[in-house]
Amino acid sequence: MNRLRLSGAYVAIMLAGLLLFAAAAVFAIDRTQRSTLDARLATAGRAAATFVDVSHGQIRIDADDRQQFLTVLGADTDGAVFDMRRRVLLSSAARVPPDIAPPAGTSPVIRNAGHGDAIVRVFSWPMLAGGKRLGTVVVWRSSDWIDETDRGLAIVLAGAALLIAGLALLAGNFVTRRALEDAFARQRRFTADASHELRAPLAVIRAEADLAIRKEREPAQYRAALETIASEADYMESLIGDLLTAARAESGHVQRERVDASAILERVAERLQPAAAAKGASIDVQAAPGAFVVADGHALERALLAIGHNAVRYAAASGKVELHARRSDHTVEIAVQDNGPGFSREALDHALERFWREPGAAAGTGSGLGLAIARSVVEANEGTIMLSNAANGAQVRLRFPAA
């Protein structure tokens, strides 16, 4: 039902837009046709007047004038010559409509005449001699063909709009259905993966608790069980925090402000130091000044921390993890690089997906959320994330518009 409502709303908006466009097109074409008709009538009227002779203040019309007058008007246009008393001296029509009679005055006039379905467009051209009007040349033509053209065009455009809307409804319904199915499928996979990740530490906690309460044990054994439970609880807390970070980023609910990427990178390096020291690795930070971006600083720090932990995990023993932040004209780039084996081909394609792990990875090597969370945070802050292999290890680069 929601899918149909979404598709229906989209099609209704599109249909309204198409009908407005059709109405505007009909109006524009109607104005153009009527302007063209007026121009043709004015040209024919002025040309016809040149073939009417004036002698001694009187209009004189002979057989040659009549023939030339009719030739200038053509087959689609009628015309007549009136004297000062509005008497018809010459006409191309068998009967001159009474509304065609010229108005008084010495200026050209273009107007409508008739009523109902018999409306014609009329152009009057006064014939002057010494500033005095001797008569008037009047030409007219029916404008019914313009109305018929407007109606035909309106029908065609309205039909086309309905056809496009119908096709859009079918296509939109199909696309919406596929999009919703994909979204639900991703949600189901996410729920299943999250449940699997949470089930393992819960099983450990339950097993340790059962063993601890099944019979009396030594204090050291109780302590070991509690330490295991605490460790698994810490893992669950971290996993839930990661899931919430990804959810907030993907929902778009981020509080963005101008932050110093170099300062964030320095804090990340400080937090990574204990893990690096335990592995005998060093952390090298090269943070250029002025690397400001508009982002959620806390989320960005968490994303960089996740990337950094991956780099420390895969760095060679007694190796090095490099953190860089630099600014170009309009971009700030943050890079995290280790000197480990680098990304596999599968990792380059899938490591940014949630819960993805390298095939054959040992248990306890992570939740598969670190890089996925980083991607969600980066994209929510209008940045991009790229995975690549450098000359001596894996590299993750983040790019943001410079603030």
Tens digit of each residue's pLDDT (9 = 90 or more) over 320-364 = 999 999 998 889 999 999 988 888 888 888 888 877 777 755 545
219, pLDDT greater than 90: no
373, 302 contact by CB (below 8 A):
yes
Q: Is the pTM for the entire model greater than 0.85?
A: no
Q: What is the pLDDT of residue 4?
A: 66
Q: What is the pLDDT of residue 360?
A: 59
SS3 352: coil
Q: What is the pLDDT of residue 250?
A: 62
Tens digit of each residue's pLDDT (9 = 90 or more) over 91-103 = 888 888 888 888 8
Segment 361-381 mean pLDDT: 73
Name the residue type at position 35.
Answer: S
Tokens 């980083």 locate to 374
Q: How confident is the model at residue 122 (pLDDT cuts 50, 70, 90)?
A: very high
Tens digit of each residue's pLDDT (9 = 90 or more) over 291-305 = 899 998 888 888 898
221, pLDDT greater than 80: yes
386, 375 contact by CB (below 8 A):
no
Burial of 381 per CB tally in 10 Å (0-12, 13-18, 19+)? buried
Positive or negative torsion for Cα 228, 232, 233, 234: positive
Q: How confident is the model at residue 148 (pLDDT cuts 50, 70, 90)?
A: confident
| Rounded CA separation 197/276 (Å) | 26
Q: What is the pLDDT of residue 123?
A: 94
Q: What is the pLDDT of residue 238?
A: 73
Lowest mean pLDDT among 169-178, 205-214, 359-368: 359-368
24, pLDDT greater than 70: yes
Q: What is the pLDDT of residue 187?
A: 66
**Is the model more confident about 85 or about 9?**
85
Q: What is the pLDDT of residue 180?
A: 65
- % of residues, the chain, pLDDT over 70: 87
Segment 161-177 mean pLDDT: 76
Q: How confident is the model at residue 368 (pLDDT cuts 50, 70, 90)?
A: low
Q: What is the pLDDT of residue 337?
A: 92
Segment 150-174 mean pLDDT: 82
Query: Which tokens sit at 320?
Result: 């090095």
184, pLDDT greater than 80: no
366, pLDDT greater than 90: no
User: Which of 365, 307, 303, 317 is closest to 337 using CA atoms?
Assistant: 307
Lowest mean pLDDT among 49-63, 76-90, 347-361: 347-361
Average predicted confidence (pLDDT) for the chain: 83
**Is the model more confident about 151 or about 250?**
151
**Is the model more confident about 166 or about 186?**
166
Segment 131-138 mean pLDDT: 87
97, 114 contact by CB (below 8 A):
yes
SS3 398: strand
CB atoms within 10 A of CB 253: 10
